[in-house]
Amino acid sequence: MVLAPQADNQGSAAAYAAEHGFTFTFLPNAGEVCRAFGVSSLPTFIIVGVDGTILYRQSGWSPGVEEKMSAIIDEELTPKS
């Protein structure tokens, strides 16, 4: 699941998502969530494992980030023997 926190009340997150074709869920008024995860800049990507541990964290965008995150998610969701 992908969640996008809206840390302020500026504009409508739902309207913004629809305008840009985003299909993930926006969390309105998510300042507390941002503080809890130490988000101080956007974009910040955080992957949380099924046990609640942070598996990946990156602030800012860089080439290859999508592939890196996909690999981490695939690994986390692969059944362990």
Look at residue 29 in the predicted model and tell me its pLDDT. Answer: 77
Give CA separation, 17 vs 13, 21, 25, 40, in Å: 6, 6, 9, 21
Q: Where are the chain's structural domains?
A: 1-39, 41-81
Could you tell me where the beta strands, DSSP code E, fall in the chain?
3-5, 25-27, 44-48, 54-59
pLDDT at position 71 over 90: yes
Percent of the chain exceeding pLDDT 90 equals: 28
| Percent of residues, the chain, with pLDDT higher than 70 | 95
Is the pTM higher than 0.85? The answer reads no
C-alpha 43/C-alpha 12 separation (Å) is 18
State mean pLDDT over 28-48: 86
- Reply yes or no on whether the pLDDT at 15 is more than 90: no
